[in-house]
Every structure is written in structure tokens, then in C-alpha cells.
Amino acid sequence: MKVMGYVRPDGKVGFRNHLLVIPSSVCASEVAMRIASHVEGAIALPNQHGCCQVGADMDLTINTLIGLGKNPNVAAVLVVGLGCEGVPTSKVAEEISKTGKKAEYIIIQHCGGTLRAEEEGARIVRSLAQEVAKLEKEEVDISQITLAIECGGSDTTSGLASNPVAGYVSDKLIDHGGTSMFSETTELIGAEHTLVKRAATKEIGEKILEIVKNCELKAEKMGVDMRGGQPTPGNIEGGISTIEEKSLGCIYKGGTKPIEGVLNYGEAPAGKGLYIMDTPGQDIESITGMTAGGANVVIFTTGRGTPTGSPIVPVIKITGNPETFKHMQDNIDINVGTVVEGKETIQQTGERVFNEMIEVVNGKLTKAEALKHREFGMYKLTSTF
Amino acid sequence: MGKQAIVVHESDNVATSLRDLKKGEEVLLEIGDTENKVVLLNDIPFAHKFALKNIDLGENVIKYGEVIGKASKPIKMGEHVHVHNIESTRGRGDLEVDKR
């Protein structure tokens, strides 16, 4: 099966042609947004990170920013640094440019303040925008799709309908040679034993148990019952009683294929097939991690409804709750609540969602894209110093 | 009109409602090849759970054929099963505090 994508210089395929303005730190975020506002199609990633972080926490921010720039849906990048932050601005641009795409950088302190940085930055981004617009899509194999599957605002219909449907799509994509990943380690707690059985090797099974144990230890160290944070108050109102119930429903989104590896936050899969990424259950941070890992389309299942999109990746939202679809049609792309109503099977709805995914990678805007939903947030390991 | 409720796995001791159900309502359920009948003791909102049998204090609550928690109170057949009568066995830092 063929789809239309942008083949990047490193051979990776994107389905969007974004021009990113990446601030290296919180201190450069405002200037990055102002630069992006001057240029057609430019998108900034304002964030709270990049300064006064240490050790693995700092590395996570640096690697995530690089991964986002490398994402094949991104055509070119300007990195904007203040000049005194921990993130090495020039190194971020240099690492991104190893993919062969244009990645420039400016330093606000070197430019001489907001207005001069804005002018210099806008001039660079304007030039990149002109070049990026010339790129054309070409026919590529469907195996170039790297699907990220996210669930958020879950209720009990998520485990009964939308997650099994997403799992069907993931299985079908993998049958066509593609790659799929799911994440949210918190939402594996209580279901990890069933995933271990699907691990491609014993080591991968052990890694699954390890990430879940580490996640659970965080709640234990805080001395709290996770319930209320996970499941969330909305999950509970939607009928989910415990984290185990949430997890057992969540993992249906990973389909039935063997698990080929466990990725760190923002890490790219080494091969094709199904992967788990170690991320928190918070939707935005989770999607950012999988985007930094190279996902080029997202299927997002929801029960309660959510407007979430992404600055880089088209997010297709599906719900298994027919009432939620009626209430939030501006945000939800596909109603798979027909499964709980007994009107359609998981396979029938799965085919509909698969076809929508093909249309979206070929260029159809998702509702989140059409409404300019570009939620962005990065995971953080510890407090800022 | 679709089914009133669903039992995901035949070893489950709870069912999930597929629409708002009323106290006193008789619910017909397919469990494997058999058809069971449960009379509801509470209103059950859409997508919430009710017990298929009496569940003792401390007994495992089963859905998807897996343990989703333990009964924190005795639960009667037909009763609403949720945060008021089942508790998680995982992510329980509060229990760690009690041990200290």
C-alpha cells in the first residue's frame, strides 16, 4: 500500500512539512514565539525547560529538543537560545542538521536583545519558509508510517471500544511493515504481566517490569495513594475504579503484536514493529516523547473527550463514548461508540479508523490541526535547581 | 437498542453497563454460552460496574479476566462497584506510610 510523504535527506518520511522555531530554554521562549509569528507556517515550541537543570534531567531536555527537531514531519528548524542556559543551543542545531535538514541557530545575548534577535531570527525563518514550501510529497510505502497511540481522558468505554480499535489499527499497520508505539508507563501498572508474555525477548520482558516498578516506586516514595491522580477524577466519574482497571483497558491500544523493545523517553525505535516508550501517563508529555522518538502520526483515544493536538504530528482523536462524540464533535474525529452500542464490530470500526489515518497522512487535516491545537509539554525528572 | 451491559471475560465478577440503568432493573447478561440475570440494587450510570455475585471483603474484583482491585467492603450481587467499595492494590504509597 502506498501513501504520499516528504522524503527527508536521511531517508525518513514525514507527512507534514513544518518549520520549527525551538527555544533552547524558558528564557528564549517568548522571543521564539515572536519570531514564529512573523513567518507563514512557522511554529514555536515555548517551554519551561532548559535552564538550571542537572544530570539526567538536563540530558532529557537536550535529547528531547534534538529529537523533536529531527522528527521527519519537520522540514527545517531555527533554534533560539538566550546564551547562558544549560542547553547548548549550537549543539542542538548541529545534531538536528545531521539528518540533512536545515537547522540554524541564533543567541539572543549575541544578537543584542529582543528586537535584534527577532529581526535576525525572522529573516532566517523567512528564508527557510521559502525553501520548505518548494518541497513536494512523493509516493512512499505505508511501512514509513510510525504511529504513536495515546489514550487520555479515559472512561470505561476506552477499554471496551476505542483502545481495542486503536490496537486493531496498530496490528494492521505492523502487518504492512510499519512501526507503532504506545507509552504511559503509569497506565501499565497492574497489566504488565500480560505485556511481558508478548515481549520478543526475555530482556524486553524484564525491561517492561523494571519501568513499571520504577514508576510505582515513585508513588510509594511520596507516601500517597495514586488514585485521584491516576486514575484521574474524570476517569473515576467515567466508571474507572482503580489504576489496574485503567491499565488493563489502556493496553488494548497496543494491539496484539510482539513487543520489540522498550524505549526511553524520546528515543527512536531501532526497527519496525511494536514498541513501548517509558513516559508518564500525562497525555501531552507522552505525545511529546513519542514525537521526539520519530512518530509521524498519532491516534488518540478518549472517553471523556479532549481537545489535544500537537505542534508537529497530526493527532486523530477517536472516542468509544457516543455521548462524548455528540458533545465534542469539534474535537473528536471519529466516533467508535458504535462498538458499545452493538452497531459495529471492532474490526469494522478499526477499518474506518485505519482509512482515516491513511487520509490524514496523505494530507487531510485532523480536527486538532484545523483548530490549531498545538499542545506542547516535556517530561521532567526532577525539580529545577 | 443494544445490550444493557457487558461481561468482558467469563471469569469476571463484575459487568459494565452500556447505558444508564435503574435500581430494580433486571439485567440479562451473556457470560460465555450462558445467560444470567442480575437485579440491580442501585442506579448504575453508563460505563460503571455492578457485581455479578456476592463479593467478600478483601476478595479480588475481576474484570478483563484480571484483578482490578480488592473489595474494601462486602459487595452484594447487583450492587454498584466503584471507588466506595473496591480499592487498588497497586501504587499504594499510603500503605507504605502505614507500615513505617
For all residues of chain B together, what is the average pLDDT? 92
Residue A228 — pLDDT band, cuts 50, 70, 90? confident
Mean pLDDT of A13-30: 98
What is the ipTM for the molecules in this complex?
0.94
pLDDT over 80 (residue A41): yes
CA distance A136 to A133: 8
Residue B16 pLDDT: 96
What type of residue sits at position A96?
Answer: I
Residues of B in contact with A219 (CB under 8 A): 91-93
Residues of A in contact with B96 (CB under 8 A): 220, 223
Kindly state whether A261 is in contact with chain B, defined as any CB-CB distance less than 8 angstroms: no
Residue A301 pLDDT: 97
Q: What is the CATH number of domain B5-99?
A: 2.30.130.110
Mean pLDDT of A308-324: 97
Which residue out of A193, A217, A244, A304 would a mutagenesis test of the B interface target, given it has the greatest number of B Cβ atoms within 10 Å? A244
Would the CB atoms of B90 and A340 count as touching at under 8 Å? no
Residue A133 pLDDT: 97
* Distance to chain B for A37, nearest Cα, Å: 44
Residue A229 pLDDT: 82
Tens of pLDDT, residue by residue over A139-186, are 999 999 999 999 999 999 999 999 999 999 999 999 999 999 999 999
3-class state of residue B87 by DSSP: strand
* Distance to chain A for B79, nearest Cα, Å: 14
Residue B30 — pLDDT band, cuts 50, 70, 90? confident
pLDDT over 80 (residue B98): no
Which residue out of A156, A226, A338 would a mutagenesis test of the B interface target, given it has the greatest number of B Cβ atoms within 10 Å? A156
Tens of pLDDT, residue by residue over B57-87, are 999 999 999 999 999 999 999 999 999 999 9
Sheet holding A102-107, edge to edge: A42-44, A18-23, A74-81, A102-107
Q: What is the dihedral of CA A80, A85, A89, A90, to 10 degrees?
A: 130
Would the CB atoms of B90 and A245 count as touching at under 8 Å? no
Would the CB atoms of B8 and A160 count as touching at under 8 Å? yes
Residues of A in contact with B93 (CB under 8 A): 219-226
Mean pLDDT of A177-206: 96
Residues of A in contact with B64 (CB under 8 A): 159, 245, 248-249
Instruction: Please check whether residue A290 is in contact with residue A298, taking contact to mean a CB–CB distance below 8 angstroms.
Output: yes
Residue tagged 471500544 (cell numbers): A161
Mean pLDDT of A342-352: 96
Instruction: Please check whether residue A339 is in contact with residue A353, taking contact to mean a CB–CB distance below 8 angstroms.
Output: no
Residue A128 — pLDDT band, cuts 50, 70, 90? very high
DSSP-derived pairing of the beta strands A179-182 and A146-152:
parallel
* Distance to chain B for A224, nearest Cα, Å: 4
- CA angle B19-B24-B30, nearest 5°? 55
Residue B92 pLDDT: 84
Residues of B in contact with A239 (CB under 8 A): 16, 45-49, 82
Would the CB atoms of B94 and A249 count as touching at under 8 Å? no
Q: Among B81, B93, B94, whose Cβ lies nearest the Cβ of A241?
A: B81
Kindly state whether A4 is in contact with chain B, defined as any CB-CB distance less than 8 angstroms: no
Report the residue count for chain A.
385
CA distance A180 to A119: 41
Residues of A in contact with B87 (CB under 8 A): 227, 242
Q: Closest by alpha carbon to B86, among B65, B56, B64, B66? A: B56
Residue B1 pLDDT: 52
Tens of pLDDT, residue by residue over A262-285, are 999 999 999 999 999 999 989 999
Which residue out of A194, A242, A321 would a mutagenesis test of the B interface target, given it has the greatest number of B Cβ atoms within 10 Å? A242
For all residues of chain A together, what is the average pLDDT? 96
Which residue out of A245, A251, A253 would a mutagenesis test of the B interface target, given it has the greatest number of B Cβ atoms within 10 Å? A245
Kindly state whether A345 is in contact with chain B, defined as any CB-CB distance less than 8 angstroms: no
Mean pLDDT of B20-47: 93
Tens of pLDDT, residue by residue over A58-73, are 999 999 999 999 999 9
Would the CB atoms of A340 and B6 count as touching at under 8 Å? yes
Residue A224 pLDDT: 83
Residue A26 exposed, middle or buried by CB count within 10 Å (0-12, 13-18, 19+)? middle
Kindly state whether A192 is in contact with chain B, defined as any CB-CB distance less than 8 angstroms: no
Sheet holding A138-141, edge to edge: A13-14, A2-7, A138-141
Residue A1 pLDDT: 94
Residue B56 pLDDT: 97
Residue of B nearest to A246 (CA): B68
Kindly state whether A234 is in contact with chain B, defined as any CB-CB distance less than 8 angstroms: no
Residue A240 — pLDDT band, cuts 50, 70, 90? very high
Q: Closest by alpha carbon to A311, among A104, A41, A29, A83? A: A41
